[in-house]
């Protein structure tokens, strides 16, 4: 299991994955993302999961979704394991959940899996004069993703994508950018 790119604020990611991975495996789930950050209620360790094999089978976010009961079972098993290893030196809340329909994208395989869907990409350096690009994932080839925006197709090196996520178009059954729809 490879580790997603989000921040863990000086927690040993590999040690955390050694605890999380077997528990997810036993429950038939796979890791999408790990986050450790401060929120209103204090520090939160958020573990986003989906059904095991979702990436390999290129399941839609709907078909990869997990239920609340599974999240609760995983949290119950994970909490004492994290306490024993004591990787986090202060109080925190553990949250186990689904990434939802606006799922984060981290690896090349995520972009391949969700080709044809709308995404928002935040770049570490501007491309075509923009640091944020929104469009439909067209193709992935040799470490680059091509995104079709309203104006053009843009090829973006995966190495300059800081954050990316799927974008849900409310009221749209189409996978095309919103303003490309024609009104009759």
Distance CA 93, CA 160 (A): 31
Q: What's the confidence (pLDDT) of residue 91?
A: 92
When pLDDT is averaged across residues 85-100 and rounded to a whole number, the result is 92
Strand ranges for the chain from DSSP E: 29-39, 42-51, 93-97, 118-127, 130-141, 144-148, 153-157, 161-166
Mean predicted lDDT score pLDDT of the chain? 89
pLDDT in tens, 14-66: 999 999 999 999 999 999 999 999 999 899 999 999 999 999 999 999 999 99
pLDDT in tens, 130-155: 999 999 999 999 999 999 999 999 99
Domains of the chain: 13-97 (3.30.300.70), 108-177 (2.30.30.180)
What pTM value is reported for the model?
Answer: 0.81
Contact present, 34 and 21 (Cβ < 8 Å):
no
Q: Identify which has the larger pLDDT, 32 or 12.
A: 32
């Amino acid at each position: 299991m490879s580790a997603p790119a989000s921040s863990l604020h000086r927690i040993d990611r590999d040690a955390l994955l050694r605890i999380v991975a077997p528990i997810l495996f036993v429950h038939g789930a796979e890791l999408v993302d790990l986050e450790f950050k401060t929120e209103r209620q204090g520090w939160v360790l958020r573990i986003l999961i989906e059904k095991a094999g979702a990436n390999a089978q290129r399941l839609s976010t709907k078909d990869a979704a997990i239920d609340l009961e599974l999240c609760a079972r995983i949290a119950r098993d994970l909490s004492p394991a994290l306490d024993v290893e004591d990787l986090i030196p202060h109080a925190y809340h553990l949250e186990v959940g689904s990434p939802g329909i606006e799922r984060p994208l981290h690896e090349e395989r995520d972009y391949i899996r969700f080709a044809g869907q709308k995404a928002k990409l935040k770049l570490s350096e501007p491309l075509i004069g923009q640091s944020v690009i929104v469009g439909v994932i067209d193709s992935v080839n040799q470490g680059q993703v091509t995104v079709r925006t309203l104006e053009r197709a843009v090829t973006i090196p995966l190495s300059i994508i800081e954050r990316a996520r799927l974008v849900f178009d409310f009221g749209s059954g189409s996978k095309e950018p919103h303003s490309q729809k024609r009104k009759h």
